Amino acid sequence: MLDIRLIRENPEKVKENIRKKFQHQKEALVDEVFALDVEIREAKGRCDELRNKRNTISKQIGAMMAQGKKEEAEAAKSSVTAMAGELAALEEKIGVLDGEIRSRMLVIPNIIDESVPIGRNDGENVERERFGEPVVPVFEVPYHVDIMERLNGIDLDAARVTSGNGFYYLCGDVARLHSAILSYARDFMIDRGFIYYIPPFMIRSSVVTGVMSFAEMENMMYKIEGEDLYLIGTSEHSMIGKFADSILDAAKLPQALTSYSPCFRKEVGAHGIEERGVYRIHQFEKQEMIVVCDPEESAAWFEKLYSYTVAFFRSLDIPVRTLECCSGDLADLKVKSVDVEAWSSRQQKYFEVGSCSNLGDAQARRLGIRAKSKERGTYFPHTLNNTVVAPPRMLIAFLENNLQEDGRVLIPEALRMYMGGKEFIGE
């Protein structure tokens, strides 16, 4: 959510940002907020005027009574009563106007960073850098589910019976590999100074609207019927919500946290859920990074966060590349975002396995997260998030890049301690 002062002082900048995101239909919201802001400030000014008058007259009433000026005192009392009525009406109007302004401000997109490439959709994202040499094996690489089935590691048929498409049973060494990757990711981030968390897996609607846009919420979140609770789509939701309505000691920033959670997503508009694949699914698990920091530090943290994901994948010998997300591909709260994509040796192309985002102070404003120091007073910190790893999608890249010609899957050195010392699975 933007600072209202930006619309008040430079509405054209906000409109230009909307145009860069190709959301022209939202330009009218800026004018509406501007007009509502004028109206609410006039109402607040009138309230201040009435309160001052009421206080002055109230003090005079006692003096009038002491001087025997009963009729004048009664007239003054009537005046005070009328002011109280007008004040009540104005305060009710201010509440309504506040709601009208907030509802529009929640929809107006955040100001994107100047470095963000301008483009309409993810087809116009820009490659930044590649890490590792993509390998195309001399043998044919099967579809990832076929690899898992040969390893007796997945049961999609049973999951369709219990839950429908978009769900799965992992078993045996594949399930163990899944857990090993998450355990390694946890320790990988702890070794880099992040504090490990397991957060709540359900959050209230006030947190949902604080951490994401309405469009994202509609397309992603599962609502718990009869309760003010939603299943989280990522642990970022719970972790940022943890700081809601709090004032953080600036001396204790940055806060660098890493969290594990299952994730639940409706995947609306995802062109259907594959019957056999585990690339786009309703339920998965993820290790996440979350940072709350001073505004001046967020750009540096952004670069650092996605570099950790690159380092994680490279430690498992998986080639990756980074993509700068263009303006039209950024969710409304995001200032800047980079996707990390892993190499698919079967498809001979890269596919997304993680995303790093700088949200500026948007989430902090929505949730009332503030920081305080003697030098700066109270201010809104910046929030960032990034995927460390999200299996089972990551398993696709892992299995394809570590598959041997004889059908076995090599376990990289970094994972062997989590796999009971195994060098291969499928033996």
Q: Which DSSP helix (H) or strand (E) runs through 203? A: strand 202-203
Q: Which DSSP helix (H) or strand (E) runs through 373? A: strand 370-373
Burial degree of 85 (CB within 10 A; 0-12, 13-18, 19+): exposed
Cα(4)–Cα(9) distance, rounded to whole angstroms? 9
How high is the pLDDT of residue 273? 54
Q: Divide the 427 residues of the chain into consecutive groups of 10 and give the mean pLDDT of each group.
A: 94 97 97 97 93 85 78 83 90 95 94 97 96 93 94 94 93 97 98 98 94 79 94 95 97 97 79 68 95 98 98 97 97 96 95 96 96 96 97 92 96 97 92
Long-range contacts (CB closer than 8 Å, 24 or more residues apart) made by 84-88? 84/54, 86/46, 86/50, 87/47, 87/50, 87/51, 87/54
The amino acid at 119:
G
Which two tokens mark 248?
A: 């953080």
Do 193 and 256 meet the contact criterion of CB atoms below 8 Å apart? yes
403: DSSP letter: B
Cα(238)–Cα(245) distance, rounded to whole angstroms? 14
Q: Judging by DSSP bridges, how do beta strands 202-203 and 230-231 pair with one another? A: antiparallel
> Quick count: other Cβ atoms within 10 Å of Cβ 212?
26
Please give the C-alpha separations between residue 360 and each of 265, 287, 334, in angstroms, as whole numbers.
Answer: 25, 22, 7
Residue ranges in 242-392 assigned as alpha helix (H): 298-314, 362-367
* Residue reference for tokens 């709260």: 333
Q: Which DSSP helix (H) or strand (E) runs through 388? A: strand 382-389
In 3D space, the residue among 406, 412, 356, 416 whose CA is nearest the CA of residue 132 turns out to be 412
pTM over 0.85: yes
Instruction: Name the CATH superfamily, with its identifier, for domain 4-105.
Output: Serine-tRNA synthetase, tRNA binding domain (1.10.287.40)
Backbone angles phi, psi at 244, to 5 degrees: -55, 140
426: left (phi over 0), alpha (psi -120 to 50) or beta: left
Backbone angles phi, psi at 241, to 5 degrees: -60, -25
Quickly count helices (H) and strands (E) in the chain.
Answer: 14, 18
Please give the C-alpha separations between residue 307 and each of 186, 229, 301, in angstroms, as whole numbers.
Answer: 16, 34, 10
DSSP lists the bridge partners of residue 343 as: 350
Domain with CATH 1.10.287.40 in the chain: 4-105
Domain with CATH 3.30.930.10 in the chain: 122-425
Provide CB contacts within 8 A for 268, sequence distance 6+: 218, 219, 220
How high is the pLDDT of residue 279? 85
Residue ranges in 125-171 assigned as alpha helix (H): 144-150, 156-162
Instruction: Name the CATH superfamily, with its identifier, for domain 122-425.
Output: Bira Bifunctional Protein; Domain 2 (3.30.930.10)
